[in-house]
Amino acid sequence: MDFPIFFLDGMGTRLLIGIIAGMHVLINHPLAVGIYPLLVLIEYVAFKKNWPALDEVARKITFVVFIITTTVGALSGVGIWLSTSLAAPFAIGSLLRVFFWGWFVEWLVFISEVILIMIYFLTWKRWREGRLKILHMRFGIALAVMSWLTMALIVAILAFMMDSGGWTQNKNFFSAFFNPLYIPQLIFRTFYALMAAGFFALFCTFFFTKKGTEERRTMVTTCSGWALFSGLACLFGGIVYMAFIPPAMKAQIDVGLLTMQFAQWQDKFNVLLFVTCVAFVVIGFWGFLEPKHLPQLAMVLPLFLSVWLLGHFERVREFIRKPYVIADYMYSNGFRPDELEFFQYNGILKYATYARHSEVTEDNLIDAGEDVFMLTCSRCHTTGGINGVLNKFTAMYGTGAWDPAAMKAFMSTMHNSRKFMPPFPGNDQEKEALVAYILDLKENPRPLPGAQSAGIALNPLQVRQVVKLSEQKHKSLSQAERIRSTQN
């Protein structure tokens, strides 16, 4: 409503965020958060046993981590805030206000993390012995703490978006930060990151050590054991996390996992999930107890399994908080529950700063409907692309003629039958305009450009008001000018 609408018809803004955020988290959890304690441990073992070859393996893994985290990792992190600010500026604006100091500290912690990884990696070869080596490991520990802290701060925001807890009443920063889902999600993610780091190091071991060497044996035992025990803790964390998820969100897991079309495949999906967990445990035990006999495939496979698992976890997390972008406070399309009644009575177009039409008339029905689509549906639906509204209605009403009255009735109740959608926020005429637009779109499918390509349209009503105000300003300025000149 209050921002020009960025829109990617076809791909949808959700997928854009999904790709960037997915890439970031897949790098961040194993490589930035989970790996440093493990690297310091390996470094420590090498130091105690005076074993330069093992130390070198840890250094090589750090090199990979250093390159990936400071390039794709850091850029995709910034990319998340850029893409989410484009897609949902209203939500990011609110989150910034609620979490201002949290975000500020996050920035400081992130800068320290980047400086520490530079020191940790770049001094590795020079600080190899005695007290310098000990100092080096201390930097490693500091790096591990800072990396975990960046995640710990951001998870508070992610959990808040799912369950805003007491904040809706008291608007207190600490209520927002320590929301009910924060600690459970943090426990889960911490152990997930440690587990995935173990599998990542195992994967690197395959490339950085030779078969049959003592280094490989020690690395396989350490990484498998690390992954196994943190994996079991992660499982425990997952159970605690699930227990804290509100029932209304749990009810949406089936669609969240596989979309509506495949929701009934949830049982099959759960089998896949179970097989993945069993594979983790078996490989973990095997590598830990019998490192010499762990098949080569078992060294590389778990990393890929952990990638799909985390990717899917994030998808489900993002899905089940729908229809909200901030739980109980703001819907995904930016409308708030407490303003619904007002808009449903008065309409939304009049109050939208960026809309081409300020009301629905007989002449502008379809165009005004397009505005309504942009304002109310476009944060989740495209027209004919991913999660396209045409496909959704086709799935419901078939390819023949659609009944406008049925469509209008659907919009009035869609939030009841499909709880992941917010209530329609506009008035009756706006509902009719939206139906007219969708029906017209069905006859003449065409892409809908966002403000980034179509340009910014200011609401005519608002333009008129701005003109009126500036005329008033002009008048009073010239009046003041006249008074001043007569005084002189």
Rounded to 5°, angle at Cα 463 from 426 and 367: 45
Binding residue (CB under 6 A) for ligand HEC from 202, 421, 441, 448: 421
Among 170, 172, 213, 259, binds ligand HEC (CB under 6 A): 259
Binding residue for ligand HEC (CB under 6 A) from 60, 350, 418, 419? 418
CB of 459 to ligand HEC, least distance (A): 19
Shortest distance, position 387 Cβ to ligand HEC, whole Å = 5
From the CB of 165, what's the least distance to ligand HEC, in Å? 21
Phi, psi for 357 (deg, rounded to 5): -130, 140
36 binds ligand HEC (CB under 6 A): no
What is the smallest separation between the CB atom of 112 and ligand HEC, expressed in angstroms? 37
Find out whether 231 and 281 touch, Cβ atoms under 8 Å. Answer: yes
Q: Report, in Å, the least distance between residue 410 CB and ligand HEC.
A: 6
Stretch that binds ligand HEC, among 89-97, 131-139, 275-283, 420-428 (CB under 6 A): 420-428
Which listed range, 23-31, 51-59, 380-388, 476-484, lies at the site for ligand HEC (CB under 6 A)? 380-388
Among the listed residues 7, 148, 167, 393, the single contact to ligand HEC using CB under 6 A: 393
Rounded-to-integer distance, Cα 150 and Cα 378, Å: 32
Answer for which of 40, 109, 255, 330 binds ligand HEC (CB under 6 A) is 255
Q: What angle do CA 105, 111, 115 make, to 5 degrees?
A: 145
List, in sequence order, the alpha helices (H) in 88-181: 89-98, 100-122, 130-162, 167-170, 173-177
Taking the complex as a whole, how short is the minimal distance between the CB of residue 15 and ligand HEC, in angstroms? 12
- The residue range among 291-299, 349-357, 360-368, 384-392 that interacts with ligand HEC, by the rule CB under 6 A, is 384-392
Amino acid at 44: Y
Residues 423-442 that bind ligand HEC (CB under 6 A): 424
d(CA 359, CA 71): 48
396 binds ligand HEC per the rule CB under 6 A: yes
Helix, strand, or coil (residue 74)? helix
Which of 442, 440, 439, 414 is closest to 426 using CA atoms? 414
| Count of residues that bind ligand HEC according to CB under 6 A | 25
Smallest distance from ligand HEC to CB 309, Å: 21
d(CA 53, CA 30): 24
Told to check if 419 binds ligand HEC by CB under 6 A, we report: no
Q: How far is the CB of 333 from ligand HEC (least distance, A)?
A: 4
Q: How many CB atoms lie within 10 A of CB 252?
A: 19
Cβ 225 vs Cβ 231: under 8 Å: no
Which of these ranges, 43-51, 276-284, 388-396, 462-470, lies near ligand HEC under the rule CB under 6 A? 388-396
Beta strands 324-326 and 330-331: pairing type?
antiparallel
**Least separation in angstroms between CB 334 and ligand HEC:** 9
Least distance (Å) between residue 376 CB and ligand HEC: 4
By the rule CB under 6 A, 323 interacts with ligand HEC: yes
For ligand HEC, the closer CB: 209 or 382: 382
Nearer to ligand HEC, 26 or 411 (CB): 411
Using rule CB under 6 A, residue 357 touches ligand HEC? no
SS3 36: helix
Q: Which is nearer to ligand HEC, 200 or 424 (CB)?
A: 424
3-state secondary structure of 34: helix
**Residues paired with 324 in a beta bridge:** 331
- CA distances in angstroms from 268 to 262, 273, 358, 359, listed in the order given: 10, 9, 49, 49
Of 356, 459, 376, nearest in space to 425 by CA: 376
CA 124 to chain centre: 34
Q: Which is nearer to ligand HEC, 225 or 384 (CB)?
A: 384
Q: Residue 88 or residue 116: which is nearer to ligand HEC going by CB? A: 88
CA 361, CA 349: separation in Å to the nearest integer? 12
CA distance 234 to 469: 59
> b vs e for 67-79, b when ≥16 Cβ sit within 10 Å of the residue's Cβ?
eebbebbbebbeb
Q: Is 377 in the site for ligand HEC (CB under 6 A)?
A: yes
d(CA 112, CA 118): 10
Decide whether 8 or 54 has the Cβ nearer to ligand HEC.
Answer: 8
Identify which of 145, 147, 85 has the alpha carbon closest to the alpha carbon of residue 114.
147
C-alpha–C-alpha distance, residues 70 and 68, integer Å:
6
Span from 3-11, 97-105, 256-264, 310-318 in contact with ligand HEC (CB under 6 A): 256-264
List 17, 187, 196, 380, residue binding ligand HEC (CB under 6 A)? 380
Interface residue with ligand HEC, options 20, 202, 389, 441 (CB under 6 A): 389
Q: What are the helix (H) ranges across 347-450?
A: 365-376, 389-397, 404-417, 428-443
Min CB(308)–ligand HEC separation in Å: 19
Contacting residues toward ligand HEC, per CB under 6 A = 255, 259-261, 322-323, 332-333, 376-377, 379-381, 387, 389, 392-393, 395-396, 411, 418, 420-422, 424
